[in-house]
Amino acid sequence: MGTEVQKVFENYKLNVNGIQANIDIVQRKDEFTLGYNVSILNVSPSTKLILEKIREEFISKLNIGEVEFEEGGGDVIRDKFKKEIMHLIKKYFPTANEATADSMINYLIQQNIGFGDIDILLKDAFLEEIVVNTATEPVWTYHKKYGWLQTNIIIPTEARIRHYSTLIGRDVGKDINVLNPLMDAHLKSGDRVNATLQPISTKGNTITIRKFAEKPWTITDFLKDGTMSYDQAAFTWLCMQHELSTLIAGGTGSGKTSTLNVLANFFPPNQRIISIEDTREITLPKTLHWVPMETRNPNPEGKGGVTMLDLVVNSLRMRPDRIVVGEIRRKAEAEVLFEAMHTGHSVYATIHANNADETIMRLTNPPIDIPKPVLPALSLLLCQNRNRRTGKRRTLQLAEITPTGDARVLLQLDVGKDQIKTLAKSKHIYNTLNLYTGMDKKDIDKDLKEKKDILKWLVKKNICDVHEIGYIFAKYYTQNL
């Protein structure tokens, strides 16, 4: 890996439990991808050498392997670590003040009991993914602005990678071992984790962490970033307000779940919402009547599992007005959801498909295989896209589902110009709204203009907090009863 820096694109600092880290996004000599350089500011190289001696002395006095299995796990180790290590810090650094001693303790905890330098990456709000491929390669990250970056962090051994996976699994009651070399789990922070062991992953043990967004995406963020146009947002809001079921399609990393979270901004406060996910990712405004639910994998004996289908079926017994589903993958789930649409429930879900036509093909062919005449229960289809060259996420298409079960694209992204173009005027959704609300085309167009004005006001005032936006929409619905 080249180390000579030719250009620095961005620089910022992170504070990780008292450890000051400097981050540089750089172009390294003879490298074809940008680099992500981490340097610890308040722990010098000479201090690191002494801290390594302290670590070795500490380990010789305390059997960490035994402590890990005590009740409380990592927290027990940390408490015991601090008590045992303090006199060693004073021994080697007699003049260190309390703040300096604390930063040294935190550094040792991070390097030897936590996830090492990965803990620093986990604190960077600009990162979406953290990927460990093997102990012989640097850790990779996916940056919101710069895409894939190669870090200057290398996990020293395959055993250390496996140790990190074991720690993650233990926190959520999962095992990863020779008999179970694959693991899906999540950190206490909500970050999703996938881990694999050799020889299943032939180059080495792997860890893939998809970070949980500390600040949920909102409609204001989407409009400011150009992810969605005002026309798309206003039309979607109109459909959401009048309980028209909506499906969000897109490829991996296109922003499907983020879009689902954004659409939830449009829910009225006087309806019961049940959300169902494999791992909690969405965050709805506090103003909403919301019950989040999460699937559970079976234990090693194969018992106690709760599937997506279990929760979808159960949700229908909870008197929901709206059902939000993380992802449709299987026929049984899709059948129950479309049955829910036909019995008067509004359903919002995501599905893996790249565009509107592909979504219809995916729904009507195995493994989902829903009969095409059933599809008109769904009204609106949003297709999300991430341009792998530029990293930009956009709503590629907004389509209505026709009475024949086909997708009719209304608004579509011109990728070359990065602009949304109108391809057709709505027919089916306008007819549905007229049938159930009495609104004619003139009323609908007036309502859409009013919604666009409100959305522009949100952007002008830079209101991006999900709960504040929820309060504003709650006031809107209260005033427009």
| Whole-angstrom distance, CA of residue 348 vs CA of residue 327 | 9
Instruction: Please give the residue that has the higher pLDDT: either 481 or 469.
Output: 469
Is it the case that residue 396 has pLDDT exceeding 90? yes
Write out the residue range of the structural domain in which residue 135 sits: 5-156
Say if residue 364 is in the same domain as residue 467. Answer: yes
Instruction: Work out how many domains the chain is built from and give that number.
Output: 2
Q: Give percent of the chain above pLDDT 90.
A: 65
**Structural domain ending residue among the three candidates 156, 191, 207:** 156
* 173, pLDDT greater than 90: no
With beta carbons less than 8 A apart as the criterion, state whether 405 and 364 touch.
Answer: yes
Same domain membership, residue 382 and residue 276: yes
Is residue 197 domain-resident? no
Q: Is the pLDDT of residue 461 over 80?
A: yes
Mean pLDDT of 259-268: 95
Residue 62's pLDDT is 57
On whether both 33 and 150 belong to a single domain, the answer is: yes
Q: What phi, psi does 53 have (nearest 5°)?
A: -65, -40
φ and ψ at residue 352, rounded to 5 degrees: -80, 110
Residue 71, pLDDT score = 43
Strand bridging mode 35-40 / 19-28: antiparallel
Residue 167 lies in a domain: no
Q: What is the pTM of this model?
A: 0.81
Instruction: Give the residue carrying structure tokens 């922003």.
Output: 255
Residues in Cβ contact with 48 at an 8 Å cutoff, skipping those fewer than 6 apart: 40
**Does some domain include residue 186?**
no
CA angle 14, 18, 21 (to 5 degrees): 30
**Can you tell me whether residue 106 is helix, strand or coil?**
helix
Q: Two tokens at 133? A: 């491929």
**Is 293 contained in some domain?**
yes
Give domain status of residue 412, yes or no: yes
181: in domain = no
Q: What is the pLDDT of residue 170?
A: 85
**Hey, what's the torsion of the CAs at 272, 277, 279, 284, to 10 degrees?**
-30
Query: Which strand (E) or helix (H) includes residue 233?
Result: helix 230-241
Q: What is the CATH number of the domain that holds 441?
A: 3.40.50.300
What pLDDT is attached to residue 78?
64
Domain boundary among 110, 128, 156: 156
Query: What would you report as the CA-atom Rg of the chain, rounded to the nearest whole angstrom?
Result: 26
Average pLDDT value for residue range 373-395: 92
pLDDT band at 50 (very low <50, low <70, confident <90, very high): confident
91 with 234, same domain: the answer is no
267 and 143 inside one domain? no
Do 118 and 230 share a structural domain?
Answer: no
Domain identity same for 239 and 108: no
Residues 122 and 224 placed together within one structural domain of the fold = no
Please indicate, yes or no, whether residues 284 and 418 belong to a single structural domain of this protein: yes
Is residue 195 in some structural domain?
no
pLDDT single digits (tens) 303-323: 888 999 999 999 999 999 999
Q: Is residue 213 part of a domain?
A: no
327 and 465: one domain? yes
Sheet of strand 140-143, all strands in order from the earlier edge strand to the far edge: 5-16, 19-28, 35-40, 147-151, 140-143, 127-132, 206-210, 192-196, 182-186
Determine the pLDDT at residue 80: 65
Q: Do 44 and 27 touch, CB atoms closer than 8 A? A: no
Specify the pLDDT at position 25.
Answer: 95
End-to-end CA distance of the chain: 62
- Domain containing residue 108: CATH number: 3.30.450.380
149 and 255 together in one domain: no
* Domain finish residue from 141, 156, 171: 156
Same domain, 270 and 407: yes
